[in-house]
Amino acid sequence: MFQTRLKETASLIEAHLQAVMAPLGDLPVVEAMRYASAGGKRLRAFLVLESARLHGVAQANAIWPAGAIEMIHAYSLVHDDLPCMDDDELRRGLPTVHVKWDETTAVLAGDALQTLGFESVSRSECHPDPLVRADLTVTLARAAGAQGMVLGQALDIAAETAPTPLTLDEITHLQAGKTGALIAWSATAGAMMARADTAPLMRYATDLGLAFQIADDILDIEGDADKVGKAVGKDVDAGKATFVSLLGLDGAKARARDLVTDACDALSPYGQDADTLREAARFVISRDS
């Protein structure tokens, strides 16, 4: 069920992003925006659509925040891949934006993808109630900004030159910003759109986000670069503290499994309706890319 819905999400998002970007013309910066936001697992968009479905929110509305979160995610990857950041040449098995075009285009395409993401959640098509749109926009900004994703990125970069490796608490805090905040926003978006209690989905997403990052650290050790679509072994080579270096491979796997169990339990108010989200949590720690 989850795999089917994830594939459906991917097709819906591709079509949506194409439509939203159609009026932007074909300058290199716009082509780079299309390129950077194409492909990927669409896990964040799936979380938006699935939490919306759980709350009876129309997909025609939910596709807007789903598209927005994928744009924000794509912008962060384009900037993250820059030579002055992680300096990655490969993403999803393809050349990164600054390799295919140049750094200038990568900076501007990332900038404009962020802008378009915020436009998407404030547009009237996103939700009939403007208060919901304003809430989605403010919470998305908090998840993406200097108290969320950018904070995590900044801590990650500071860690590279820190005299001692990060502790487990510090890495958990870093991750909660870097990947956790956008995942939490995605999973709670449907509840926000229905003006329902976001607490169960927030608990689910917090555990899921941490499990996701632990799985990423495991993939960096055990993953196959061809399947992962980007370089692996970078963290070990850089001597960075990761969940694996701190917990050991078996300890990290056990911790990820426990988090997935907790994430599934947090969904009990939704009963069996949330089974696809439970499958998603199990997928996150079993994926090979």
The site for a copy of itself (CB under 8 A) is made up of 23-24, 27-30, 33, 75, 79, 82, 84-85, 102-105, 107-108, 110-112, 114-116, 118-119, 122-124, 129-131, 133-134, 137-138, 141-142, 144-147, 150-151, 153-155, 157-158
- Exposed (0-12), middle (13-18) or buried (19+): which is 141, by Cβ within 10 Å? middle
Quickly count: other Cβ atoms within 10 Å of residue 288's Cβ: 10
The answer to whether the CB of 176 falls within 8 A of the CB of 209 is yes
The answer to whether the CB of 4 falls within 8 A of the CB of 54 is no
| Nearer to a copy of itself (CB atom), residue 33 or residue 52 | 33
| Nearer to a copy of itself (CB atom), residue 30 or residue 194 | 30
| Nearer to a copy of itself (CB atom), residue 138 or residue 168 | 138
| Nearer to a copy of itself (CB atom), residue 113 or residue 256 | 113
| Nearer to a copy of itself (CB atom), residue 1 or residue 131 | 131
The answer to whether the CB of 209 falls within 8 A of the CB of 186 is no
Best CA proximity match to 229, nearest among 216, 241, 245: 216
* Token output for 6: 């994830």
Q: Which residue has the tokens 């089917």?
A: 4
Shortest CB 243 distance to a copy of itself, Å: 22
Shortest CB 214 distance to a copy of itself, Å: 24
Shortest CB 221 distance to a copy of itself, Å: 25
The answer to whether the CB of 243 falls within 8 A of the CB of 255 is yes
Shortest CB 104 distance to a copy of itself, Å: 5
Shortest CB 168 distance to a copy of itself, Å: 20
Shortest CB 114 distance to a copy of itself, Å: 6
Distance, in Å, from the CA atom of 109 to the CA atom of 36, rounded to the nearest integer, reads: 8
Distance, in Å, from the CA atom of 49 to the CA atom of 43, rounded to the nearest integer, reads: 10
The answer to whether the CB of 192 falls within 8 A of the CB of 135 is yes
| Nearer to a copy of itself (CB atom), residue 10 or residue 20 | 20
Distance, in Å, from the CA atom of 214 to the CA atom of 284, rounded to the nearest integer, reads: 10
Distance, in Å, from the CA atom of 241 to the CA atom of 211, rounded to the nearest integer, reads: 16
Shortest CB 171 distance to a copy of itself, Å: 16
| Nearer to a copy of itself (CB atom), residue 25 or residue 271 | 25
Separation of CA 257 from chain center: 20
